A and B are shown apart, each in its own frame.
Chain A
Amino acid sequence: MAAGTGSGSTVSAIFSPVRLWLLLPSWIVIGFFLLVPVLLMLTYSFLTKEFRGGVIWEFSLASYDQFLFDRGLFGDEAPVVKWTYINIFIRSILQAIGATIFCLLIGFPTAYFIATRPIQSRTIWLFLITVPYWVNLLIRTVSMKFLIRDSGPLNELLLYIGLIDAPLHVINTNFAVQLGLFYSYLPFMVLPIYASVERYNFTFSEVASDLYASKVTILWEVILPVVKPGIIAGSILVFVPSLGAFLAPDLLGGAKTFMIGSLIEDQFKGNAGNWPFGAAASMILLSLVLVVLMFYVRAQNKDQT
């Protein structure tokens, strides 16, 4: 995220007088086609729904009300807290946390291993980790579905070896979604951790070892605190897209694994067709993400001072 902010010797008197003209196209394009739409979406979340999609331009808190409360079939009973949507959000957060932990468990050792290779082979390892990220996420998720389905190659292999007697039922479970999210965003965890382990000065480890610290102690007490910024960055890069993921829950999960992404999609493309409610759910998702990002920026600033 810091790329492009700090500059010292790279300032030139030639382009700084026209910087406004150079920056203007990006401001206009992103401002008009993304910032304005997001603000419009905020407005939509306070409008009245029109059936079959679209809105009536009348102020209403109905969407947020629908999100939180149940007022009976005709909307005239006393409001009771409704857990349907809150649970979808909680489940999404838990799924995203689970995916982050899985990625961390595999990603940290991988990043550490790569960072301690000789410089020439590091780039090759890193390249191998990055390539899958650039492969279409849809294709990757479909591949995962193909692999883990009931009569898929994974089950056949396990049956063949004799490790299991009956096919494991993984698809359409929470675990399948978890696996899909983990698989989708694993490279995001490895790269930032790699970057911080690479800068880690191994003299610290040597000093600790001279003071009779065990290797596990060195890892926990010396290395981890130093590479913490990389771990936090990686966790956020996995957590944020997992939270709003649509493909993994939709293709690998079933009705019971509904996540925020599917809920939002259903309001616009699916049967629900309630635009203001979809806009409200999107706003809540966006706010969650902004809170996480703000936490990240604060943590980063604290580390720097």
Chain B
Amino acid sequence: MDRTFDIKHYRGFFSITCLCLVILYGPLIIVMIYSFNDSVSITNWGGISLRWYVEIFTGLESAKFKAAAWNSFSIAIMAAIVSTVIATAAAIGMIRGGNFKGKFASFALISLPIMVPEIVTAVATLIFFSTIGFKLGTLSILVAHTVFCIPFAYLPISARLQGIDASYEEAAQDLFANRWKTFRYVLMPIMWPGIVAGFLLAFIISLDDFIITNFIKGAGIETLPTAIFGSVKQGIKPNIMALSTLLLLFSIALVTLSYFIGKRGEANQNTQQ
């Protein structure tokens, strides 16, 4: 046993792993610390304060930030709901549909938004909307985000569905449940953790998106990332660091939530089988 461990172990790999985590978290932690800096300068430390957090909600730019936050969150919620519904249907069709002609093509189409570079998606969507005369604004952002979120919602949902034995549905059928009732009362409760995970991922992806939104937002409409980008172009300001910290903590909270839901789902699945 000792020897196996020795063979597996390479000196220095632990240090590199620690370095990896320092690289990943270092910049984020430093921005978090400096967001509490009670100084107008971003270089000098002037003691701890919450003034920049107050500034976001009451300062000169607060109206802009509130509008941007409203746009970001309303678009993210709607895009996540629509893409999760579409992705759930697609996952059932792909995984419970058996083998059919064009299955690979169907899978490629569903994954297309992940495979095409984001900037290309942005260009193509802008050209498309301007050609058909679709007015650029919140609706165009919503449509683009929905498309982009589908594969992100699809992956955890289909992974979950693959782990579910079809015998549950067959049992429901034997008890004369129709297709909808089989889905609603049998399949959906078991799939639920996958659906929630997919929804949360889609939500974060939409909330975080900058490149596509920047191309198709139209004049005068901002989401949080585009508002932050606009500010940062003129130099990093302390209030932006406070805003970034809030957004960052929100994302981390959602990912943690998604992680624990996934874990609970796994535990349930194990007890069921």
Q: In this assembly, does A298 line the interface, its C-beta being within 8 Å of a C-beta of chain B?
A: no
A286 contacts B117, C-beta separation under 8 Å = yes
CB within 8 Å for A134 and B254 given contacts A15-B96, A146-B241:
yes
B124 contacts A34, C-beta separation under 8 Å = yes
Chain B, 40-86, CB within 8 A of any chain A CB: 42-43, 85-86
Report A-chain residues with C-beta under 8 Å of the C-beta of B16: 106, 109-110, 113
B112 contacts A35, C-beta separation under 8 Å = yes
Report A-chain residues with C-beta under 8 Å of the C-beta of B229: 138
B23 contacts A106, C-beta separation under 8 Å = yes
DSSP majority for the A interface? Answer: helix
A41 contacts B4, C-beta separation under 8 Å = no
Query: Which of B112, B124, B144, B154 is packed against the most chain A CB atoms within 10 Å?
Result: B124
CB within 8 Å for A142 and B255 given contacts A4-B158, A14-B179, A38-B124:
no
Total interface residues in chain B, CB < 8 Å = 107
Interface code A11-43, partner B: CB below 8 Å = 1, 0 otherwise? 111111011111101110111011111101100
Q: In this assembly, does A80 line the interface, its C-beta being within 8 Å of a C-beta of chain B?
A: no
Q: Please measure, in the bound complex, the distance between the C-alpha atom of A40 and the C-alpha atom of B121, giving whole angstroms.
A: 12
A40 contacts B127, C-beta separation under 8 Å = yes
Chain A, 135-159, CB within 8 A of any chain B CB: 135-140, 142-147, 151-153
Interface code B3-36, partner A: CB below 8 Å = 1, 0 otherwise? 1100111101110110111011111101100100
Chain B residue at smallest Cβ distance from A264: B119
Report B-chain residues with C-beta under 8 Å of the C-beta of A275: 127
Chain A residue at smallest Cβ distance from B208: A136
Q: Which of B12, B95, B96, B121 contacts A34 (CB 8 A)?
A: B121
B20 contacts A106, C-beta separation under 8 Å = yes
Q: In this assembly, does B128 line the interface, its C-beta being within 8 Å of a C-beta of chain A?
A: yes
Report A-chain residues with C-beta under 8 Å of the C-beta of B173: 13-14
Report B-chain residues with C-beta under 8 Å of the C-beta of A10: 95-96, 161-162, 164-166
Q: Which of B10, B90, B111, B232 contacts A22 (CB 8 A)?
A: B90
Q: Which of A31, A109, A129, A136 contacts B247 (CB 8 A)?
A: A136
| Range for the number of chain A residues in contact with chain B | 35 or more
Q: In this assembly, does A217 line the interface, its C-beta being within 8 Å of a C-beta of chain B?
A: no
Q: Which of A9, A33, A107, A109 contacts B143 (CB 8 A)?
A: A33
Q: In this assembly, does A240 line the interface, its C-beta being within 8 Å of a C-beta of chain B?
A: yes
Whole-angstrom distance between the Cβ of A291 and the nearest chain B Cβ: 12
Known: A15-B92, A15-B93. 17 other contacts (CB 8 A): A10-B162, A23-B94, A26-B87, A30-B110, A38-B120, A38-B124, A41-B127, A113-B16, A116-B9, A125-B17, A127-B259, A145-B232, A146-B34, A183-B23, A202-B7, A244-B118, A268-B123
